[in-house]
Amino acid sequence: MPVPGPGYSITVRVEAPPSASAAGDLTSAVGRVGGVITAFDVVESHSDRVVVDITCNAMSANHARDITEALESLPGVAVRKVSDRTFLMHLGGKIEVTAKVALRNRDDLSRAYTPGVARICQAIAENPDDARRLTIKRNTVAVVTDGSAVLGLGNLGPAAALPVMEGKAALFKKFAGVDAWPVCLDTQDTEEIIRAVELIAPVYGGINLEDIAAPRCFEIEARLRDKLNIPVFHDDQHGTAICVVAALRNALRVVGKDMSAVRIVVCGVGAAGSAIIRLLSQRGPADIIAVDIDGIVHRGRENMDANMAWVAANTNRADVSGRLHDALVGADVFIGVSAPNLFGADQVATMAEGAVVFALANPDPEIDPLEAQKHAAVVATGRSDYPNQINNVLAFPGVFRGLLDAQAHGITDAMLLAAADALADIVDGDRLNPSFIVPSVFDAAVAPAVAEAVRKAATAG
Ligand SMILES: NC(=O)c1ccc[n+]([C@@H]2O[C@H](COP(=O)([O-])OP(=O)(O)OC[C@H]3O[C@@H](n4cnc5c(N)ncnc54)[C@H](O)[C@@H]3O)[C@@H](O)[C@H]2O)c1
């Protein structure tokens, strides 16, 4: 059930009579249609009227229209303007380039630019590794997309993907001081994407692939990792896997189970699911059962690509087949990165005692978390309006901070696991409980801890 939130926040400027009851009438009108007022500002006052900015959260664009109409229907009230605060935030984009050096006079100019810069160019030509010391390569990551799997919205193309990539860049800066730049490619051809990233790589200390659809994303990442001498990290895969492995470690502490004893159902074998299965496998669970839209993945399944064949060969020890509901019977853990509303409390009741349910499909999870809570001991989602939000922002800023600080040439599973452990360790024994298995995305300790763990793992290997 959606609730009014800041994603649909509007400011309505209205003219109203200057009566004593005007404010009450306006706020009641908003409340009657379910809007939540967050600010009420009188911006003009006259003897015959007041002009008021009413800022409120709505549930959807249609709901925002209902709120405006409710205000307009009041006697003597006229709506002057409606501003969508989310659109306002995006006007002109969300990030910019700022010079780090002062350019006040000829002296500054001669050192920052010609003729002084020529000596820096020569130094790098002689020793290419110096690019990491003397240029933005030291601290800059490309956020690369082809726009083929934008959030849960699908194939919107490169221009429509840009607001997401800008947001990602802003998060990189805010949480880890990383300078990230969006690179939205106007192609969805695997070879062209690989070639384009290869061609721009000299500028960057790392490549963050983003919102590129499966299965293309697997080949693109694997081939770029082979070709480039900087880390290549598909966040939808590995950022998710790090967070899930961390959250699961803490959830199992809550229910008092050992990883080696648990049977885990992973629903969704796309970008996120495949990476979760690969990273979790390294933690040695008793078994993983992978399920996708065609049911349980088993070795006898036909038409499997390389990714699915690997999953089939490395999961499902008993080689069972069936549907999601079959897989859930007796399972200790459910991890969903698939689709909304796939099961209910009745199926959770068939899971083992102390069941852990991570329903991460966005925006609507595989099971309503309130339903899941009826029988599960620990429930997590990707949503910010429930406890235990599993969100990649817990991982990727710190991961790249660590990689850049180590001047890493690549990325390994050991680094991903180190990041997961550091993230899990943030939740110490005193704070750990069924509603707190992962830290808040605003916990300032997260990115430095993850960065330090990744830096150590990168320099150790
Ligand atoms: N909360 C988080 O941190 C987080 C992180 C990554 C992905 N996700 C969410 O996970 C979901 C999947 O993301 P992705 O990038 O891996 O997508 P994807 O398209 O690469 O993969 C989707 C997978 O789900 C399976 N699937 C679809 N419908 C199904 C059904 N009815 N029953 C069983 N399986 C079904 C598909 O077969 C496929 O294997 C999305 O909703 C995404 O928002 C959440």
- What is the domain-level CATH number for residue 207? 3.40.50.10380
CA of 67 to the centre of ligand 1 (A): 34
362 is in an annotated binding site: yes
186 and 206 in one domain?
A: yes
Residue 461: its pLDDT value, please? Answer: 61
Ligand 1 centre to CA of 249 (Å) is 22
Mean pLDDT across the chain: 96
Whether 392 lines ligand 1, by a CB cut-off of 6 Å, is: yes
171 Cβ inside 6 Å of ligand 1: no
Contact 173, 182 (CB under 8 A): no
Q: Is 168 part of the annotated catalytic residue set?
A: yes
Q: What is the pLDDT of residue 429?
A: 87
Residue where a domain terminates, one of 177, 202, 230: 230
pLDDT score at 50:
94
Q: Is residue 105 part of a domain?
A: no
Task: Determine the distance separating the centroid of ligand 1 and the alpha carbon of 358, expressed in angstroms.
Answer: 12
Q: Which pLDDT does position 1 carry in this prediction?
A: 61
Q: Looking at the structure, tell me whether residues 206 and 255 fall in a common domain.
A: no
Based on the fold, state whether residues 257 and 343 are members of the same structural domain.
yes
Domain limit, last residue, from 35, 61, 90: 90
Segments of the chain scoring below 70 in pLDDT: 1, 461
Peptide bond before residue 439 is cis, with ω within 30 degrees of 0: no
Which among 210, 230, 250 is the end of a domain?
Answer: 230
Q: Are strands 50-58 and 36-45 parallel, antiparallel or unpaired?
A: antiparallel
Decide if 363 contacts 393 (C-beta within 8 A): no
- Cβ of 384 closer than 6 Å to ligand 1, yes or no, is no
- Number of separate domains in the chain: 3
Q: Based on the fold, state whether residues 147 and 52 are members of the same structural domain.
A: no
Same domain, 240 and 335: yes
Between CA 25 and CA 385 the distance in angstroms is: 30
Give tens-digit pLDDT for 189-245: 999 999 999 999 999 999 999 999 999 999 999 999 999 999 999 999 999 999 999
What is the spatial distance between Cα 296 and Cα 272, in angstroms, rounded to a whole number? Answer: 17
Identity of the amino acid at 436: F
The reply to whether 83 falls in a domain is: yes
- d(CA 396, CA 243) in angstroms, rounded, equals 10
Could you list the residue range(s) of the whole structural domain that residue 80 is in?
9-90
Q: Looking at residue 44, which CATH number applies to its domain?
A: 3.30.70.260
Which ligand 1 atom lies nearest to the CA of residue 389? 1
The one catalytic residue among 8, 137, 168, 257: 168
Q: Give backbone dihedrals phi and psi of 345, rounded to 5 degrees, phi first.
A: -60, -35
Looking at the fold, whether 84 and 144 belong to one and the same domain comes out as no
Q: Is position 292 within any domain?
A: yes
Shared domain for 336 and 401, answered yes or no, is: yes
348 and 455 co-located in one domain: yes
- List b or e across 167-181, with b for residues whose CB sees 16 or more CB atoms inside 10 angstroms: bbbebbeebbebbbb
* Alpha helices by DSSP H, 235-368: 240-255, 271-281, 306-314, 324-328, 345-348
155 is in an annotated binding site: no
Residue pair 17/49 in contact (Cβ under 8 Å)? The answer is yes
Give the pLDDT score at 427: 97
210 is in an annotated binding site: yes
pLDDT tens digits for range 248-284: 999 999 999 999 999 999 999 999 999 999 999 999 9
- Ligand 1 centroid–CA 255 distance in Å is 26
- CB 142, CB 134: distance < 8 Å: no
Greatest alpha-carbon pair distance for the chain in Å reads 81
| Residue 81 annotated among the catalytic residues of the structure | no
CA-to-CA dists, residue 401 to 3, 155, 176, angstroms = 35, 30, 6
Which residues 6+ apart lie within 8 Å of 305 measured at CB?
Answer: 215
The reported pLDDT for the residue numbered 363 is 86
236 lines ligand 1 (CB under 6 A): yes
- Name beta bridge partners: 183: 144
